[in-house]
Amino acid sequence: LQAVQEYLSGAGSQWTICKRYGILSPTQLQQWILWYNGHREIKERGSAKGEIYMTKGRKTTFNERVEIVQYCIAGIIARKNPLKMLWNIVPAYLTGFSICSSSACIPVTYECTLKNGVNKDIADFTIPLCSTVHMCGSTIKLTVTSVAVAYMFGEPITFGLFMQFALMQAIAAVAAPGVMGGVLMASVGLLGTVLGFSDTMTTLMMTIYLALDGYGPAVNVSGDAAIAVIADRLFGGKKNSAESAEA
């Protein structure tokens, strides 16, 4: 249980956690993570005290709830089961969480998108594009973290100031590269110019953001696949009709 919790908190990569706790392979750790997130019991064998059962689950994060909403909307539009689509995208979610990069996760996201029944040509266009311009997870994480740091230092933030920062940060995120800390580096200037952060506040915010960086790309790539499902529903039929007419 401690190995799973440390990995989900960003205390290390899968290989680091496996080496620390003597786990044979990252595959076993990934299976435990899936069971833990699904509130299933996990059984450890070979311990000195016999078998240990881990049955305690965890609450979903805000980013994960955003992802669930995305797939519910995509399921309604595409008339597909959102739970099945979420299950198909789990490998991309875990890969994005592990490597903290939307762009590096493109091959895995692409394969998961095809499993959701998306037209190959739609996926070829949508996934690479969204890996750069669709940064909802990173945007939410940076905005929430910034507000939390401001309140920690007693800096008042009005609703108008918050909306100004959120909109400008969303625009900056579109231009950010899909690499680890890309959204942070593209938006860090706004912390001082819009929110009036000092160097100390900016440093603390960057530290917290990077410590939790895995959740942002994980939600980004999952959302990319949801957008591909919606695009396939809206434009996939027109493309098939055009191909049939040409034939």
Q: Give the per-residue pLDDT at 217.
A: 81
Q: How distant is the alpha carbon of residue 170 from its chain centre?
A: 16
Higher pLDDT, 247 or 118: 118
Structural Rg of the chain based on CA atoms: 20
Tens of pLDDT, residue by residue over 104-128, are: 888 888 998 898 888 888 888 888 8
Tens of pLDDT, residue by residue over 170-194, are: 888 777 776 777 778 878 888 888 8
Average pLDDT, the chain: 76
Q: Is residue 136 within 8 Å of 220, Cβ to Cβ? A: yes
Higher pLDDT, 16 or 126: 126
Three-state secondary structure readout of 47-80: ECCEEEEECCCCCCCHHHHHHHHHHHHHHHHHCC
Q: Where are the beta strands (DSSP E) in 111-211?
A: none
